[in-house]
Amino acid sequence: MKILKIDHLGIAVSSIDEKKNFWTDALGLTFEGTETVEAQKVTTAFLPVGESEVELLESTADDGPVAKYIEKKGEGIQHVAFRVENIDEALEELKAKGIQLIDQTPRQGAGGARIAFLHPKATSGVLVELCERK
């Protein structure tokens, strides 16, 4: 498996509209709009930071994973995403190593990326996302 870089940090917020000002006004990052991924009950906003990005995550439903995260832990870093060269190969390799996965096969993420989550039990409590972008 080849990890290319930290692709983005996923940050759970109660409201992108209400919380984005810190990232744009205080830190000077560029807000490029939002995208809703209904399958994951989330609206995302990617703000580029050099070679990586901050991904703000707002739940679209009370039972979505981001809503549940905020309910349990409050707002904050929800996941770390590594960009891989080939996500299919990466998942096969991790399975072969006995790493517990949430996604056995890649799913569609925001921005046309193919993504998969590893189980926090396998990663010292960090929700790790692998993502492949063309």
Determine the interface stretch with Zn ion among 15-23, 26-34, 54-62, 98-106 (rule: CB under 5 A): 54-62
Residue nearest to Zn ion (CB): 10
Between residues 94 and 113, which has the closer beta carbon with respect to Zn ion? 113
Order of strands, sheet of 3-12, starting from the edge strand that comes earlier in the sequence: 35-37, 42-49, 52-59, 3-12, 76-84, 128-132, 114-117, 107-108
Q: Taking the complex as a whole, how short is the minimal distance between the CB of residue 63 and Zn ion, in angstroms?
A: 19
Judged by CB under 5 A, does residue 10 bind Zn ion?
yes
Instruction: Assess 81 for contact with Zn ion (CB under 5 A).
Output: yes
Measured CA to CA, the distance from residue 124 to residue 133 in angstroms comes to 26
Please check whether residue 77 is in contact with residue 125, taking contact to mean a CB–CB distance below 8 angstroms. Answer: no
113 near Zn ion (CB under 5 A): no
Under the binding rule (CB under 5 A), the answer on residue 65 touching Zn ion is no
- Closest to Zn ion by CB, 58 vs 129, is 129
The span from the CA of 26 to the CA of 24, in Å, is 6
B/e letters for 14-26, b = 16+ CB within 10 Å, e = fewer, are eebeebbeebeee
Dist CA 68 CA 127 (whole Å) = 14
Query: Minimum CB separation from Zn ion for residue 56, in Å?
Result: 10
12 binds Zn ion (CB under 5 A): no
- Number of chain positions touching Zn ion (CB under 5 A): 4
- Interface residues with Zn ion (CB under 5 A)? 10, 55, 81, 129
